[in-house]
Structure 1
Amino acid sequence: MLTDPTTPSQGDVLTADVARAPGNGVVNENTPENSLPCSHCGLPSAVTSQDTDAPVFCCSGCQGAYELIDGWGLADFYALRDQLDVEGQTSISGGRRDYSAFDSNLFLGPSTPVTMSDGLQRTRLSLHALHCGACAWLIENAASRTDGWLVSRVSLVDHTINIVFDPSKIKLSEIARLLDKLGYEPAPQTTNSDDAFVRQNRKLLMQIAVAGFCAANAMWIGIALYAGEFSGVAASHWNYLRLIGTGLGIVSVVGPGRTFFRGALASIRTRTPHMDLPVAAGLSVGTIAGTINAVTGRGSVYFDSLAVLVFLLLLGRWIQFRQQHRAARSVDLLLRITPRHAKRLGTDGECDLVLVDSLQVGDVVEVSAGEGIPVDGTITNGQTTVDRSLLTGESEPIMLGQGEKVVAGSVNLTRLIQISVDAIGQQTRIGRLMKTVETAAATKTPIGQLADRIGGVFVVVVTILALVTLLAWWQNGWAIAAEHATSLLIVACPCALALATPLAIAVAIGRSAHRKILVRDGSSMQRLSGSGTVWFDKTGTLTEGRPRVVEMLGDTEAIGLAAAIEAHCCHPVADCIITEAHRLRLDIPADAFLEGVGSGGITGRSGGRSIAVGTLNFLRKQSVSICDEFSQAAENFSLRGHSPVTIAVDGRACTMIGIVDPIRRGAAESIGNLRKSGWRIGILSGDNRQVVQQVAQKVGIDQDVARGELSPEDKLEIVRRTGADAGSVVMIGDGANDAAALAAADVGIAVRGGAEISLQAAPIYLASTKLVTLAELFDAARSTKYLIYTTFAVSLSYNLVAVSLAMAGQISPLLAAVLMPISSVSVLALTLGWPIYRGSQP
């Protein structure tokens, strides 16, 4: 089955499993700052120095992947990856995921293998963690070294892999497991609009390729003919070149250029001005006149102008199409936050892994600890702690039991539960919130409206002026009238108008990326150029999203006992306590076990003693003795913005710790800069009001606009209400609970560390940990707006002068062909030389 590569001996490598748990890719707080990078993924390891050249690893998953790659003789992958200067790390799961479901067609859905005539099977899977060509090289070479895996084609455009395999020699689950060992997580494809995008994108690229080929060759022929006007050329060669060039022009017009004729016909039928109308008119007149002149051997031919015109217009259309797709992808957010598969409980008590879309109301699904909840429903069996922070913004997990409601997008933290399905997909709470994203994506932006208005006026004016020119010169003969009208249609090039906005946005996006500001929808840059209101989420936005212990009262040894039972849980408070126990170098008993999970805490036994950890209310329900000192301390902790957690040993409260989510570095400075630019600042959070007020005070936000304990619907309503009378509204968030508010705001900005749903909903993403880059972004937005208006002015000024000369008969078709690209070239040069960011090089 799978080829077994030679495995290096254990003594040849240095590993540090304590640095990272396999699969999660998170560096431990105790990782030394001067640690050596992992030889596979590049993350820091716990190794600080070594005397040999042996590879270093941060976990056993990376070690296994390295040994697999090296054993196959594919170690060149690392050199190739380094040459490509890929940022980011290779995710490793250590091969611990269960891929047996990949042999089930019910699980695969659209990725179900198709059996070909020779008995081989073909399928297409999504592939996560692809970074560059080195990744594709590694995977495709791995296929050639695996018996039964015949073909592997990786697409970096849509992160998919096409696989052809022999089912008699290897199972698809084994290929999936092998991909996982290499660090690439396979998944069945989703049934969304990506396939349509890929087809349309491929079609446009093919049209651009054909138009580019014709334009390039037509220009070379044109250069030869223009040079012949001065140096002389044989008549036979002159006629031959004119016919060949005309042929290229005709191919460009009737091939990729026919899309403009379709648009022009639609414009005539609907009586709506469209930029395709003068383009189609110019192409028609130029093609007919040029063909007649080429055949008769008299007059000018316009093949080079026609081919270049088609190429540039298609290029601008492709750029616009890509931007529209980025905005439209936000309607698929639901698939990126909720699981696509669920374990459905059958009548025989056995679980089948099925697509969530196939579930029916009333079905019972089983969700294990650590898994996402795929549906809205009611718990029918079990009790567990649920993390709802992605939906509600609550920083603390809550305890839910039989008969209580759960929602899709939450995470089951501690115990297995069974859920009766109430709603799936778009009918869930998060699904209803995501519908607002689609509405926002469909709204025409101000810059788009401006471009449409200018384009509509341009179309009407150019068409009328071409007719006026034709009629005005008709008395001098139809040939002269047609020549001047053709000159006008050629020289009045709409390329610059079509390219001005997408080109400026593309340059702004590129310059922003260099500063670790990723802009998905460049039109949102215009909305940041004015003034208005900026709403910040708290958790993970103004704060780091990683709670930690900041103060303590009582016996420190109890923290070690608590850490032992917290190790059986999976939530932020448990991580805090465990991290603090390691920091204090406390003994953590190995014989601990969890007894119960309640609303606000847990109980268990550790080191032979009874342990309870949680809020004071939880401990009182456990009949724990609590002295007045701890009651007063809990109140003081809360006043300082710290969440109090108490540890009781053998029925007596003996330790209290204060947990806080640290303020992001540069948050106060960033807010100060925004204030100076005229923006009003506020906080919208689902967290405790007292905690929100404390954070607002620290970062310089007025108390009356620091709002806590808000639901996603509350945030959405506040954003909408603000937008009615406060200019531009900006929402800066980190978490799926902000997705609807991010979409409803004029501009949504997701920060680093945010949930994937927020990144998809927000058109702008801060990859930098420094919030001070926000002020730079707002300044760049103003600069981009000025650039767009300037390019419009340059293009329209050029057309005004050129059209006037053409109507006066001062521009021949030959000169029009030479002048035609000037507008586009001017816009291109102006855009590339414009300083989007202060102090940056163009």
Structure 2
Amino acid sequence: MTQQSCFHCGEPVPDNSPYQVTIKQEPQPLCCPGCEAVSNAIVHGGLESYYKFRTELPPRPELSEEELAELQIYDTPELLQEFVSQNDQGIAETTLAIDGITCAACAWLIEHQIDNLEGVERTAVNLSAQRATLRWDINKLPFSKLLAEFKSIGYGAQPWQADEQQQKLQREQKTAIRRLIVAAIGSMQAMMFGVALEAGMLENYMQQEFILLFMWMSFLVTTPVVLYSAWPFFSSAARELRHKRLSMDVPVSLAIGLGYAASVWALVFGVGELHFYAIAMFTFFLLFGRYIEMRTRHKIGSGGNALHDLIPQAALLLDADDNEEYVPSRQLRPGDRILVKPGHTLPVDGVILSGHSSVNEATMTGEYLPVSCHPGHQVLAGTQNIDSPLIVEVEKIGQEVRLASIARLSDRALAEKPRIETLANQVSQYFVAAILLVSLTVFSVWLFLDPSRAFWITLSVLVVTCPCALALATPTALAVANATLGRQGVLITRGHVLEGLAKATHIIFDKTGTLTEGRLELKEVRWLANAEDPRREQAAALAAALETQSEHPIARAFTASREEGVKATDIQAVTGQGLTGVIANQTYRLGRADFVAPDAELLPPAEEGQWLLLAADDGPLCWFRLSDQLRPDTRDMLEELHRLGMQAELLSGDQEGAVASIAQELGIENYRASATPEMKLARLRELQAEGHQVIMVGDGVNDVPVLAGAQVSIAMGDATDLAKTSADTLLLSSRLIRIPQAIRKARKTRMTIAQNLSISLGYNLMALPAAAMGLIPPWMAALGMTSSSLLVVFNALRLKDKGNEQRLSEVSSRPASANPQQEAKA
């Protein structure tokens, strides 16, 4: 019997396929629900003539030789060993991340199509995770051909491999789901038996033997809930008690353990009441709240795996003859040249050698507008080339790229607890101790009033006052705020930053590279020495040689003036003053006049710009005038700070004329020129002594002391490595407007934390008297406690930014030619 072909796409139709479309009142066979949905949409849309007039079936997309060559890199032993596990017989297994899956029909189509390939034993698609797990004979079907098959049917596929932290989170989530399911099933069954018993329904219709059976059934369905689902509470409480600490798991464990033990006692000896269903429901409600909190925490912290997701596994290496070869990204070395095509992601940090294009740096800076790049421009791993091919020289690879350093700084920030969180943890310990004392008092009173109710009322008190919401109030809000600011290009690297930003009253700015763009240009050379001096023609080259090893923005102004034969040795930098070095056996100085030529008593010219003096052993040689321009949003940033009640100051090491001009243009009343690091630090200490909370924003080595001394320090993304290491916050975006936005977010975070603490404490103060009077049963106490915890979590989630609205507002001004193409990872 000849196998039928799909009427829509022409693929073979499986036996007994239920899918079909009616064309001219005749059913036509289809291979999958995807084809059924499309063909029926065509027919119902009045376009049935499409099938009448089509001359051939839709062509199957074929991959180009270049695309096949790109995929063949995955057949190298290094990548196969990392992404594919295989036995001695060649049976391989792998997990792929699939792009383009939208519904169950997509999953069915992938499984159907891939399973028909020779050598494939099993294909399983996880629709929610958009991943596929495959088992096949790699001797019959190479890994690259498998990936090519996915692309040919319209789905992008890449090897998926979670890092150790992601695997840990997945294990934690799977275990939590299993415990939650056991608790849900157990609580439903226990409630069915328990409520009927308490209501006396069975006593009217069943014999005593069946009532006893229902009681034992309640015990049986509740026991797995207590011994398995509630186990984390018991283990955590035991660990805390061993270390002589009290946590919220202590009263939870007491409530579950004592309630279960009392119910077992009542069942075996016939003394007291059974409350198995209340214990099971309490455990379920508590686990449900913990699960929501865990999912929120995992989602907020998912940026920790960005390094693995953003950096492609393959790169297009160029040899000396410009021949192209795909190699694993990990094999690249500094000095190599790579070709980055439009739509591809950069695998390394490097510098552009040739080509002009736009690069989308949203993953690094939070800015959605592409950046125009040209030869000499620095590009970063994880960013995406948009318009034209670029040839890039590799500078940093692996864990040295900026993306990796950002991940490490984020981890450091998450590891540090701010003072308010530490205080909340300490308060929760005292709160737990108070709960235990109150519970003991309640038990004693009810033991005197009504011994039969004493235990269960005490249990309700323990449950209803569990400080879960108190423990979640601060860390959840901080985590959401940190993640939100990170997406906006404000990377927090210390735990105290949000608290410091919220309390700040003053902000101090450096000038060059901070308020200004830091792209200084050499505008004028004003010669001072003998006009016949042969060094006159090489003045800029002499300065460029002294600046060779400097990372300061001033050094970049002399880059174009470098000459091959002019080299400086014994270069020494004097912070905030200038440079010294030896060129052709003669010592030169470059920098401030009082440092370069203290005996000459020269004053810089009054014209606009920054003036540097070059001098040799025989005296001053010339002035250099450097010019810079303000960042586009500097004025907007200062206006926003003014609305927030912040006082702005400008402290710069530049000359009086340049600093005064900038301060006047921006309306900054408090400024100081020719400020040394010691002077900046002294002004900082003066403000702090007056009780002010100070933010320092800088970018150079001369700003390191004051960055370290401020309550909160912010370094620009292109600052020197030492400044970035000393700062509490990195402004990855070049937009200064992110600073007042971060302050607003910090103040809102502080308000949210206060609200969460009020919710938690207010709930406990209201619920405790009701529980102590016996008005709240244990199951209702569990529901109330869980509700308060969830309310705290959802209140903290309000701190998330409206990312889609922000993206639309910024992209709306993007030129049509700068729209990013679909990213095609290697």
Is the structural similarity TM-score above 0.5?
yes
Alignment-derived partner of residue 631 in structure 1: none
Q: Residue 835 and residue 408 in structure 1: after superposition, are their counterparts in 2 closer, same or farther (change >3 A)?
A: closer
Q: Following TM superposition, by how much is the alpha carbon of 1:793 offset from its aligned partner in structure 2, in angstroms?
A: 2.1
Give SS of 2:102's match.
Answer: helix
Is 1:271 matched up with 2:220? no
Alignment-derived partner of residue 570 in structure 1: none
Which of 173, 182, 189 in structure 1 is aligned with 2:144?
173
Alignment-derived partner of residue 793 in structure 1: 761
Q: Following TM superposition, by how much is the alpha carbon of 1:227 offset from its aligned partner in structure 2, in angstroms?
A: 4.0
8 A Cα contact 1:341 1:356, kept in partner: yes
Q: Following TM superposition, by how much is the alpha carbon of 1:323 offset from its aligned partner in structure 2, in angstroms?
A: 4.7
Q: Residue 415 and residue 164 in structure 1: after superposition, are their counterparts in 2 closer, same or farther (change >3 A)?
A: same
Which of 156, 162, 170 in structure 2 is aligned with 1:198?
170
CA distance in 2, matches of 1:440, 1:833: 22
8 A Cα contact 2:251 2:462, kept in partner: yes
Q: Following TM superposition, by how much is the alpha carbon of 1:798 offset from its aligned partner in structure 2, in angstroms?
A: 3.3
Is 1:304 matched up with 2:253? no
Which ranges of structure 1 fall in alignment gaps of 5 or more residues? 9-67, 80-91, 548-614, 622-638, 641-658, 685-689, 708-712, 755-765
Q: Following TM superposition, by how much is the alpha carbon of 1:210 offset from its aligned partner in structure 2, in angstroms?
A: 1.7
Give SS of 1:122's match.
Answer: strand
Give SS of 1:125's match.
Answer: strand
CA distance in 2, matches of 1:467, 1:797: 17
Q: Residue 72 and residue 691 in structure 1: after superposition, are their counterparts in 2 closer, same or farther (change >3 A)?
A: farther
CA distance in 2, matches of 1:802, 1:203: 35
Which string of whole-angstrom CA distances, capped at 9 and with x for unpartnered residues, describes residues 523-572 of structure 1? 98777654457899999x9999xx9xxxxxxxxxxxxxxxxxxxxxxxxx
CA distance in 1, matches of 2:103, 2:492: 24
Q: TM-score, normalised by structure 1?
A: 0.55
Q: Following TM superposition, by how much is the alpha carbon of 1:286 offset from its aligned partner in structure 2, in angstroms?
A: 0.7
8 A Cα contact 2:456 2:778, kept in partner: no
Which string of whole-angstrom CA distances, capped at 9 and with x for unpartnered residues, describes residues 768-808 of structure 1? x99998798567535523421221222331354257x2xxx
Q: How does 1:247-262 map to 2 (within 5 A)?
A: 247-262=220-235
8 A Cα contact 1:102 1:173, kept in partner: yes
Q: Percent identity?
A: 21
Is 1:676 matched up with 2:616? no
Q: Residue 788 and residue 157 in structure 1: after superposition, are their counterparts in 2 closer, same or farther (change >3 A)?
A: farther
Which string of whole-angstrom CA distances, capped at 9 and with x for unpartnered residues, describes residues 236-282 of structure 1? 46544443333333221101111111112212222222222222222
8 A Cα contact 2:218 2:277, kept in partner: yes
Q: Following TM superposition, by how much is the alpha carbon of 1:289 offset from its aligned partner in structure 2, in angstroms?
A: 0.3
Q: Residue 202 and residue 695 in structure 1: after superposition, are their counterparts in 2 closer, same or farther (change >3 A)?
A: farther
Alignment-derived partner of residue 24 in structure 2: none
Give SS of 1:255's match.
Answer: helix
Which string of whole-angstrom CA distances, capped at 9 and with x for unpartnered residues, describes residues 283-315 of structure 1? 111111011113344422232332232223323
Query: Letter of the aligned partner of 2:134 in structure 1?
Result: I
Alignment-derived partner of residue 35 in structure 1: none
CA distance in 1, matches of 2:795, 2:445: 41
Alignment-derived partner of residue 217 in structure 2: 244
Which string of whole-angstrom CA distances, capped at 9 and with x for unpartnered residues, describes residues 381-429 of structure 1? x9657999979999764549xxxx999779999776786x9x7533567
8 A Cα contact 1:109 1:355, kept in partner: no
8 A Cα contact 2:166 2:305, kept in partner: no
Aligned residues between the structures: 620
8 A Cα contact 2:237 2:253, kept in partner: yes
Query: Letter of the aligned partner of 1:142 in structure 2?
Result: I
Alignment-derived partner of residue 288 in structure 1: 261
Alignment-derived partner of residue 821 in structure 1: 783
8 A Cα contact 1:436 1:740, kept in partner: no
Is 1:426 matched up with 2:399? yes
Alignment-derived partner of residue 161 in structure 1: 132
Alignment-derived partner of residue 321 in structure 1: 294
CA distance in 2, matches of 1:373, 1:410: 6
CA distance in 1, matches of 2:742, 2:160: 37
CA distance in 2, matches of 1:705, 1:396: 35
Alignment-derived partner of residue 774 in structure 2: 811
CA distance in 1, matches of 2:141, 2:87: 14
Which ranges of structure 2 fall in alignment gaps of 5 or more residues? 11-30, 43-60, 520-556, 564-607, 610-627, 652-656, 675-696, 803-826
Give SS of 2:134's match.
Answer: strand
CA distance in 1, matches of 2:146, 2:173: 29
Alignment-derived partner of residue 213 in structure 1: 185
Which string of whole-angstrom CA distances, capped at 9 and with x for unpartnered residues, describes residues 324-372 of structure 1? 545655555554665544578999999975545567xx89855235587
Q: How does 1:1-80 map to 2 (within 5 A)?
A: 75=38
Query: Letter of the aligned partner of 1:825 in structure 2?
Result: S
Which of 338, 341, 344 in structure 2 is aligned with 1:367?
338
Give SS of 2:133's match.
Answer: strand
CA distance in 1, matches of 2:108, 2:702: 51
The farther-off stretch of 263-272 and 793-802 is 793-802
8 A Cα contact 2:339 2:392, kept in partner: yes
Q: TM-score, normalised by structure 2?
A: 0.56
8 A Cα contact 2:74 2:143, kept in partner: yes
The farther-off stretch of 822-831 and 158-167 is 822-831
Q: Following TM superposition, by how much is the alpha carbon of 1:824 offset from its aligned partner in structure 2, in angstroms?
A: 3.8
Q: Residue 93 and residue 517 in structure 1: after superposition, are their counterparts in 2 closer, same or farther (change >3 A)?
A: farther
CA distance in 2, matches of 1:329, 1:503: 14
8 A Cα contact 1:74 1:138, kept in partner: no
Alignment-derived partner of residue 652 in structure 1: none
Q: Which has the larger radius of gyration?
A: 2
Q: Following TM superposition, by how much is the alpha carbon of 1:829 offset from its aligned partner in structure 2, in angstroms?
A: 6.3
Which string of whole-angstrom CA distances, capped at 9 and with x for unpartnered residues, describes residues 160-200 of structure 1? 33234454665432342344463635245354422222122
Query: Letter of the aligned partner of 1:205 in structure 2?
Result: I
CA distance in 2, matches of 1:748, 1:123: 38
Q: Residue 225 and residue 719 in structure 1: after superposition, are their counterparts in 2 closer, same or farther (change >3 A)?
A: farther
Q: CA RMSD in A?
A: 6.8
Alignment-derived partner of residue 815 in structure 2: none
Which of 42, 63, 75 in structure 2 is aligned with 1:103?
75
Q: Residue 682 and residue 705 in structure 1: after superposition, are their counterparts in 2 closer, same or farther (change >3 A)?
A: farther
8 A Cα contact 1:682 1:706, kept in partner: no
CA distance in 2, matches of 1:743, 1:179: 44
Q: Following TM superposition, by how much is the alpha carbon of 1:458 offset from its aligned partner in structure 2, in angstroms?
A: 2.4
Which of 112, 120, 137 in structure 2 is aligned with 1:144?
112
CA distance in 2, matches of 1:835, 1:409: 28
Alignment-derived partner of residue 134 in structure 1: 102
Give SS of 2:132's match.
Answer: strand
CA distance in 1, matches of 2:88, 2:664: 66
Which string of whole-angstrom CA distances, capped at 9 and with x for unpartnered residues, describes residues 580-623 of structure 1? xxxxxxxxxxxxxxxxxxxxxxxxxxxxxxxxxxx9998999xx
Alignment-derived partner of residue 124 in structure 1: 95
CA distance in 2, matches of 1:324, 1:677: 30
Alignment-derived partner of residue 54 in structure 1: none
Q: How does 1:350-365 map to 2 (within 5 A)?
A: 355-357=328-330, 365=336
Q: Following TM superposition, by how much is the alpha carbon of 1:443 offset from its aligned partner in structure 2, in angstroms?
A: 0.9
Q: Residue 230 and residue 730 in structure 1: after superposition, are their counterparts in 2 closer, same or farther (change >3 A)?
A: farther
8 A Cα contact 1:345 1:364, kept in partner: no
Q: How does 1:553-702 map to 2 (within 5 A)?
A: 663=632, 672-679=639-646
Query: Letter of the aligned partner of 1:283 in structure 2?
Result: I
8 A Cα contact 1:7 1:71, kept in partner: no
